Each structure stands twice: as structure tokens, then as C-alpha cells.
């Protein structure tokens, strides 16, 4: 099974860290992975996207050519990447910030109020983890336990207080999937 994922949003929305966490979790599970970041001309506030490939076969190139899924955090990202999802693929839309519905009926679309949930939990900075939780629930591209384990590694030491918050954001994102 190969997952080719596009993750996109504004710089500062945690798109790169969401992709890196997913890729690292895939690696921990013995999968072949690639993570390819791409930034617009300005970092924070500019466009940011990354390509993540997780596969049980060797990954030939890090560029997503046939997206099995896209996670879009803002409207420009939806406008740009909706067309790139393969028929039957998955599109995850941050409905807190995106004011339109998907235009395609040949893909599975999930509207996740990521910013609303993150704000309920106390900080908008974890909207990316809410989206990742929903993505993992639908695709099983990596195990939730592996993601939690990696988050615990990343936020160890002086940032250990962020672990429960990130785990709760993942859980709440998964709950958005019916």
C-alpha cells in the first residue's frame, strides 16, 4: 500500500511539522517514506506545502504524482490541490478557515473544524494535529500509537507539557470522522 499525501496551508500553520511527524511515524513502523517540503517566497504567512509518501515498496521519487490524499488548511491550498487527488482519494478540508465546499464528487471529502477544536483546547497552534488525527483515522497511513510515541519524543524535556495537548488534538480530530 502506498499513501501519497499533499499537505498545504499558510506558513505558520504547522504543515511541515504535520508532514514530518507522519513521515517519522511511517519510518518507525518500518515503511519506506519521503518528506519533501516546499515554501512560498515568504515563510510565515506565505504558502507552505509538503509531499509525504509512505509505502511498503521503495519510494522512487519524493514528489507526489498521484495524491491519494490532500490535507488543506486554507482556501488557496484547496483551490490549488483539490484537482490533484486521485478519484476515490481523500480530501481533508479545514472548515474553520475554508469558506467553500469541494467541487468534486469522485473523492471522499471530510470537513474538519480544526481551528475551532484547537481553540477549544486552548491554542490555535495545534489545528495541524487535529487534521492529522482525522487523516490517520481515515487512512491508517500510520498507527495513532506510533504518532503519539513520536510526539512524546519530539516534545520531551522542557516542552513535555505540550504532549497531552497534542495527543488530545489528535484524538479530537479522529472523533470528527463518523
**pTM for the whole thing?**
0.94
Per-residue pLDDT, 155: 80
Name the DSSP letter for residue 156: -
Q: CATH for 2-175?
A: 3.40.920.10
Residue 43 has pLDDT above 60, yes or no: no
Q: Where are the domains of the chain?
A: 2-175
Q: Which residues pair with 36 in a beta bridge?
A: 51
Per-residue pLDDT, 41: 62
Residue 162 has pLDDT above 70, yes or no: yes
Helical segments of the chain, H only: 15-28, 75-81, 114-120, 127-139, 144-154, 163-175
Residue 153 has pLDDT above 90, yes or no: no
Per-residue pLDDT, 157: 83
Average pLDDT, the chain: 93
Residue 76 has pLDDT above 60, yes or no: yes
For residue 106, how far is the Cα from the chain centroid? 21
Distance between CA atoms of residues 170 and 168, nearest Å: 5
Amino acid at each position: 500500500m502506498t499513501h501519497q499525501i499533499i499537505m498545504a496551508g499558510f506558513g505558520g500553520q504547522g504543515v511541515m511539522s504535520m508532514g514530518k511527524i507522519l513521515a517519522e511515524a511511517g519510518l518507525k513502523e518500518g515503511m519506506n517514506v519521503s518528506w519533501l517540503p516546499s515554501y512560498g517566497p515568504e515563510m510565515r504567512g506565505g504558502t507552505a506545502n509538503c509531499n509525504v509518501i509512505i509505502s511498503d515498496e521503495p519510494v522512487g521519487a519524493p514528489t507526489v504524482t498521484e495524491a491519494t490524499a490532500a490535507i488543506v488548511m486554507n482556501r488557496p491550498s484547496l483551490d490549488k490541490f483539490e484537482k490533484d487527488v486521485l478519484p476515490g482519494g481523500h480530501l481533508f478540508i479545514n472548515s474553520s478557515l475554508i469558506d467553500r465546499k469541494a467541487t468534486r464528487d469522485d473523492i471522499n471529502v471530510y470537513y474538519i473544524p480544526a481551528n475551532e477544536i484547537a481553540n477549544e483546547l486552548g491554542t490555535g497552534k495545534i489545528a495541524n494535529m487535529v487534521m492529522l488525527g482525522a487523516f490517520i483515522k481515515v487512512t491508517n497511513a500510520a498507527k495513532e500509537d506510533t504518532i503519539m510515541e513520536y510526539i512524546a519524543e519530539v516534545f520531551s524535556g522542557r516542552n513535555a507539557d505540550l504532549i497531552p495537548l497534542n495527543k488530545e488534538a489528535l484524538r479530537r480530530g479522529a472523533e470528527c470522522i463518523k
